[in-house]
Amino acid sequence: MANQNPWPFVHLDARAVAEALSRGQDPQAVEQGTSAVLYYLYTSIPDLPVSADACVLPSGILREIVSRLPIKDAARTAVLSKRWLPVWRGTPLALDDTNLRPRALAGRAPVRADAPVLTAAITRVLAAHPGPFRVVYLIRSYMDGHQQQLAHWIRMLAAKGVEELVLVNRPYPIDMPLPSSILNIATLTRLFIGAWKFPDTTGLPRGGCGGGAALFPHLRELIVCCVFMENRDMDFLLAGSPELETLGIQGYKKGPLCLRLVGQRLQCVQICLSIVETITVVNAPLLERLILWNSLDDSCIRLKIDHAPKLRLLGYLEPGIHTLEMHNTVINTRKVVTPSTMAPSVKALALRLRFGVRNDAKMLPAFLGCFPNADTLHIVSEKTFEATGKLNLKFWQENGLIKSLQSRIKVMSFCEFRGDRSELDFLKFFMKNARVLEKVDIKSAMGCFTSIDELRSKVLALDPDNWASDNCTLAVYIGSVPECWNFRRGLDVSVGDPFAPY
């Protein structure tokens, strides 16, 4: 069941307006900013694994029925008959605070005045059920006036063995302290925290890897959204989660992120809308996908890959902006790519490139050379406000052919196409050399073409009769609205290629 109606808009009450003004902030700007934060946060929350439409099954699986019902419906089964009476208390339950909102409050955005009603209901449920809790979603309340209740809830969840916990503080404020007792829930298999200030882990013993007992010995998925935390706190979490398979970071706060990836079971890492300084893949033998999307300050991210032998999907790299280091060798235009600087396991590669910036474009062959077996290439053409040199067909020919381009790449998408000369010359060079190319999708940037016919006529300049591949299909699309990266799609390993534009 998808999380319906996340109420993405924030309406500051008188107290919050006064607080914003005391900080020299425009209350309207605060409303808009926190609404944007909530939009990204709520659209990232995983679906609650319960169904309001669960049907009646044979008596042998009554517990399974109750465990998959929303909390109110699960509790109501106790009045059905004597047979059902003990089932609710003896079944691991799924608690979603959305289902605890009074009917009078349904359909409207929550305000601080509603919080006591909802917090009281949550407290009653947690106290009434002996546990364990299979999954708990606490995502709809302002918690700044109820910090004692929150700390009490977390202590109860730790005592009653919650497995999946999604805990979101509905801002404002966005940096409310998260109780340190969150670190005591050793039964967690999934943890999603959003809009908090993470507890200081300075001085706490590091778990795993020789540091004693693991902090979260069963945790397989960790998602951190809009959380104020230090790099040492992130290191603390990762070191204490030896079973971690999925790591998602969105809107990382408190300075640039310096991330070291060391995990025997880590399979998927995604970092979005964050200020990132370095990402070092130290030892991740099972890592299959590494996704970077939209660094907030266009900083020069340093990506260093030491050991990731199963890395299959990588992007978005930005040649000319990102620094790529393969096995202690920094990749640049002067380095000859050798087997020691290659990642032969990568099959799908996504790049963002400013074709109008000569130095950026010159880095493209060097980056592509590091991934000789990539058969799928996605390129997003970044808008250039000031061109820095001519980029024509001769430029690409002089920079040499790329083996993967000639003999490996079968699928290519080109997004944010504006029809610039530099884009057309690259595409023409690409098409004339990609011998096994099977499919090309070109999607225009918004507002650059008035019709699909105008776009198609522009693409005809690529001279399809002279393409290297005789079996290639071409599709063109008009970009109608700006699209944002789908965070949940990126984390879903069942989606083979989350970079695909369609």
* Segment 384-432, tens digit of pLDDT: 777 666 677 777 777 666 777 778 999 999 999 999 888 998 898 899 8
Inform me whether the pLDDT recorded for 104 exceeds 50. Answer: no
CA-based end-to-end distance of the chain: 24
Inform me whether the pLDDT recorded for 49 exceeds 90. Answer: no
253: helix, strand or coil: strand
Q: What's residue 385's pLDDT?
A: 75
The confidence band for 209, taking pLDDT boundaries of 50, 70 and 90, is very low
Inform me whether the pLDDT recorded for 268 exceeds 70. Answer: yes
The confidence band for 324, taking pLDDT boundaries of 50, 70 and 90, is very high
Quote the CA–CA distance of 63 and 61 in Å, as a whole number.
5
Beta strands across the sheet bearing 329-330: 257-262, 276-283, 302-305, 323-326, 329-330
Quote the CA–CA distance of 229 and 487 in Å, as a whole number.
20
Mean per-residue pLDDT over the chain, rounded: 82
The confidence band for 219, taking pLDDT boundaries of 50, 70 and 90, is very high
Name the residue among 109, 124, 135, 129 with its Cα closest to residue 1: 135
DSSP tag of 212: S
140: helix, strand or coil: coil
- Among 180-189, 198-207, 255-264, 301-310, the minimum mean pLDDT is found in 198-207
Inform me whether the pLDDT recorded for 3 exceeds 50. Answer: no
pLDDT for 351-362, tens place per residue? 999 988 888 888
For residues 123-142, give the mean pLDDT.
84
49: helix, strand or coil: coil
398: helix, strand or coil: helix
Q: What's residue 409's pLDDT?
A: 93
395 CB burial (10 A radius; 0-12, 13-18, 19+)? middle
Residues in CB range of 109: below 8 A, 6 or more apart: 7, 9, 10, 11
Maximum mean pLDDT: which of 18-32, 39-53, 169-183, 260-274: 260-274
Inform me whether the pLDDT recorded for 297 exceeds 70. Answer: no
Quote the CA–CA distance of 359 and 333 in Å, as a whole number.
9
Inform me whether the pLDDT recorded for 30 exceeds 80. Answer: no
226: helix, strand or coil: strand
Q: What's residue 111's pLDDT?
A: 52
The confidence band for 383, taking pLDDT boundaries of 50, 70 and 90, is confident
- Among 239-253, 380-394, 424-438, the minimum mean pLDDT is found in 380-394
Q: What's residue 484's pLDDT?
A: 65
For residues 227-236, give the mean pLDDT.
93
User: pTM for the whole thing?
Assistant: 0.86
Quote the CA–CA distance of 374 and 368 in Å, as a whole number.
8
Query: Bigger pLDDT: 294 or 64?
Result: 294
Q: Are strands 257-262 and 439-444 parallel, antiparallel or unpaired?
A: unpaired
Strand residues in 265-375 grouped as ranges (E): 268-272, 276-283, 289-293, 302-305, 313-317, 323-326, 329-330, 348-353
Considering the chain, what percentage of its residues have pLDDT values greater than 90?
41
Residues in CB range of 468: below 8 A, 6 or more apart: 406, 431, 432, 433, 434, 435, 437
The confidence band for 188, taking pLDDT boundaries of 50, 70 and 90, is very high
Please count the other Cβ atoms lying within 10 Å of the Cβ belonging to residue 306.
15
Maximum mean pLDDT: which of 133-147, 273-287, 455-469: 273-287
pLDDT for 334-345, tens place per residue? 777 788 899 999
Q: What's residue 6's pLDDT?
A: 46
Q: Is the peptide bond preceding residue 42 cis, with omega within 30 degrees of 0?
A: no
Q: What's residue 66's pLDDT?
A: 61
Q: Tokens 């006591």 label which residue? A: 116
Q: What's residue 455's pLDDT?
A: 92
Maximum mean pLDDT: which of 196-210, 250-264, 279-293: 279-293
pLDDT for 4-23, tens place per residue? 444 445 556 666 777 777 77
Q: How far is CA 64 from CA 35, 56, 67, 70, 94, in A?
A: 37, 10, 5, 12, 11
The confidence band for 57, taking pLDDT boundaries of 50, 70 and 90, is very low
User: Rounded to 5 degrees, what are φ and ψ at 105?
Assistant: -100, -10
Q: What's residue 112's pLDDT?
A: 57
DSSP tag of 184: G
